[in-house]
Amino acid sequence: MSEPTVYHIPVCPFCQRLEILLSLKGQRNQVRFRVIDVTQARPEFLLEKTRGSTALPILETADGRILKESLVILQYLEDLYPEPVVAQRDPYRRAVESLLVRMEAEFCNHGYAFVMNQDAGRRDAHRAGMLRQYARLDEFLMEHAPSGPFLFEAFGWAETVFTPLFMRFWFLEYYEDFQLPAELARVRAWRDACLSHPAAQQVSREQIVKLYYDYAKGAGNGALLPGRRQSSFSFKPDWPERPWPPRDKYGHSATDEELGL
């Protein structure tokens, strides 16, 4: 094996982080990406490599060593391909970047809990919680980068970490009619600049909305819903050939046929 290999799910936000970083560095073709079908049990060869853990992405170095956790793999790739630099080199700026990145897990969890919520009576609580998460980002950016749009001069480390989550939260706009209010202008400017960056165009809004339908019905990571034969994460039929799913997640459960599966 002459190059690193990433085992990934094409639409997983954590896997997309690696593609964005490599794209920024012009090294996307130096790393082999092997697609794993999240709707199927992990293949034995992979479980042997990971000693049983199933979360993706997984990176196998050129000499066969295994790494997991997207933020760790990002740092490995940053060190393996040091130019152009993506993470800040100045110690204080790197610390500020790290403070912002420390907010990604709670931000992610709120968004996924919101889209996976099945209790219409809790919609407003989820919405309020998601708005608080965006307000935290807005406050941080107003303190450290009031003019923007990025945290520093260009799309960098924090943007690489957050942009896949901003893209997944297209499912909140579609299934929960979630919109950022005008008073959160700073984080909205950051989000919009991230969404349009050329290094981050691995997935589209239509793809996310169609593939994540089952998450909106409470089934994550390729799990199968009652009465369904296929997950919305299935690779076939390819998502461009499928119709847009119904938006009414609380009142209707689409069949495989309605989803074009």
Ligand X SMILES: COc1ccc(C(=O)/C=[SH]/C[C@H](NC(=O)CC[C@H](N)C(=O)O)C(=O)NCC(=O)O)cc1OC
**Residue 118 buriedness (CB in 10 A; 0-12 / 13-18 / 19+):** exposed
Closest distance between ligand X and the C-beta of residue 126, in Å?
A: 13
Tokens of 141: 């950016």
Helix (H) or strand (E) holding 67: strand 66-68
* Residue 109 in contact with ligand X, rule: CB under 6 A: yes
Measured between alpha carbons, how far is residue 37 from residues 3, 13, 97, 100 in Å?
A: 22, 15, 33, 32
Size of the site for ligand X (CB under 6 A): 15
Contact 196, 136 (CB under 8 A): no
| Nearest distance in Å: CB 48, ligand X | 16
Nearest to 222 by CA among 232, 213, 208, 209: 232
Q: Are 155 and 194 in contact (CB under 8 A)?
A: yes
Residue 70 touches ligand X, criterion: CB under 6 A: yes
Q: Which of residues 13-42 bind ligand X (CB under 6 A)?
A: 13-14
Taking the complex as a whole, the smallest distance from the CB of residue 218 to ligand X amounts, in Å, to: 10
Q: How far is the CB of 9 from ligand X (least distance, A)?
A: 5
67 binds ligand X (CB under 6 A): no
Using rule CB under 6 A, residue 46 touches ligand X: no
180 binds ligand X (CB under 6 A): no
Stretch that binds ligand X, among 48-56, 120-128, 133-141, 234-242 (CB under 6 A): 48-56
Nearer to ligand X, 57 or 149 (CB): 57
Q: Which helix (H) or strand (E) holds 213?
A: helix 213-216
Binding site for ligand X (CB under 6 A): 9, 12-14, 54-57, 69-70, 108-109, 112, 220-221
